[in-house]
Amino acid sequence: MAFDRILSIDIFRGITMLLMIFVNDLSSVRGLPRWTYHAHTQEDFMTYVDVVFPAFLFILGMALPLAAERRLRKDPSLTHLIGHILLRTFALTVFGLILANTDVGSSAQMHGLNTYVWGLLALFGAMLVWAVYPRATRHQNLFRGMRASGVVLLLAMAALFRRIARDGHVAWIDFSYPEILGLIGLTYLCVSLFYLLTRRWAWAPFVWFLALTGFCCASAGRLLLFPDRTSMWVWPVSNGSMAAIAMAGIITSSLFFGPLSAKLKTAWHRITAGLVFALSAVVAGLLAAPLGISKNRGTPTWSLWSIAASVAVFTLLYWICDVRRRSAWAAFLLPAGSNTLLTYLLPDLVYFALAATATTWFRTHFAFGLPGLARACLFTAVMLSLAALLTRARIRLQL
């Protein structure tokens, strides 16, 4: 089908953004029930918070085949499409590395430049590079200049960055963890290539999904040791858990909007197929539970139960928004769902600005119990409102 904006996908993405902003801000609040925080690495336990990141991967998988087919209709060159995938992966990695390194920068080693000011300048440079500029021909030289200025600013911030490594020596950018955006970018690269290699076979995503889940089980069961010992830059598939979640998104997209949807002739058939897929993931997760239940360890049960939750929520949204045509209730979520990268960055821009000015009042006065919960709710609402205003002003980031 044509890749017009699909309401259920945009709203699901918007809900994910809302939860991401909320749980990230709530993480600094103490005195709340255990299920409001991430489970610790060594715990065999997961909360709703541990399902937010997988929802990003899942929705990435859902959108991937729709976006790829749209691009191939406009330009049938597979080489150009792969080039776009590589560029998008690079952009997500750049943003992720900026976010991951801002907190560890050393102002003393950067000639007195506050590390959070460094983060703001680096993000601003990246945003200039990957902003969506109007197509009006009379201002193209200005837009090229803005993009070039972003590149120069990025390179300058990269050259200036310094941190103190664990052994005490002065080091450059830390590539060990590219933050969530970088993980999403690497997963996107792997799953995109898997999909493009076999996109002519409708059932290929199921085969990939089973293979990746089996690989995750083998890694969790210590039958395969190299994923834990190999850098993600060398083996971006890691233990297979993140790629399996994204591949489940491709399967769901195929069931509702892609090749398999033609075989499921009615909306109720598609809804039934989605619910069967979700239930199957729950059962498989139960069977794999002896291997552990942990987001931080990327266990198969965490992956499968996150998939089940995402499929179930999306199926409900499909029925409400695409079948029943009732979407007015989610209007405030649509800007976050369609301008996702900018919305993702807004909280970090605020956090960096507050840290650069040594503003700690909110963290010290609303950091416990119900007042902290109220703060997180208000902060989330403000961020979504700001995203809506910026989107209305046509300020967008597009990868």
| Tokens found for residue 138 | 């009379």
- Residue 63 counted as domain residue: yes
d(C-alpha 185, C-alpha 399), whole Å: 11
* Confidence bin at 136 (pLDDT 50/70/90): confident
**Residue ranges making up the domain that contains 319:** 7-104+174-392
Give the distance, in angstroms, between the CA of residue 205 and the centroid of all CA atoms in the same chain: 20
| Tokens found for residue 238 | 């890691």
- Residue 127 counted as domain residue: no
- Residue 154 counted as domain residue: no
* Confidence bin at 1 (pLDDT 50/70/90): very low
Residue-wise pLDDT tens digits, 153-194: 999 999 999 999 999 999 999 999 999 999 999 999 999 999
Averaged pLDDT, 231-243: 96
- Residue 312 counted as domain residue: yes
- Residue 118 counted as domain residue: no
pLDDT at 362 over 80: no
Q: Residues near 7 by Cβ (< 8 Å), separated by ≥ 6?
A: 321, 322, 327, 330
pTM for the model stands at 0.95
pLDDT at 321 over 90: yes
Q: Flag the least confident range among 36-45, 115-124, 231-240.
A: 36-45
Averaged pLDDT, 209-225: 97
% of the chain with per-residue pLDDT over 70: 99
* Confidence bin at 2 (pLDDT 50/70/90): very low
* Confidence bin at 220 (pLDDT 50/70/90): very high
Counting beta carbons within 10 angstroms of the beta carbon of residue 144, is it exposed (0 to 12), middle (13 to 18) or buried (19 or more)?
exposed
pLDDT at 285 over 80: yes
pLDDT value of position 4: 56
Residue-wise pLDDT tens digits, 50-107: 999 999 999 999 999 999 999 999 999 999 999 999 999 999 999 999 999 999 999 9
Helix axes 300-317, 267-288, angle to 10 degrees: 160
Counting beta carbons within 10 angstroms of the beta carbon of residue 289, is it exposed (0 to 12), middle (13 to 18) or buried (19 or more)?
middle
The count of structural domains within the chain is: 1
- Residue 43 counted as domain residue: yes
- Residue 123 counted as domain residue: no
Averaged pLDDT, 112-120: 97
pLDDT value of position 312: 98
d(C-alpha 188, C-alpha 212), whole Å: 14
Counting beta carbons within 10 angstroms of the beta carbon of residue 234, is it exposed (0 to 12), middle (13 to 18) or buried (19 or more)?
exposed
- Residue 129 counted as domain residue: no
Q: Residues near 348 by Cβ (< 8 Å), separated by ≥ 6?
A: 99, 119, 123
Averaged pLDDT, 269-275: 97
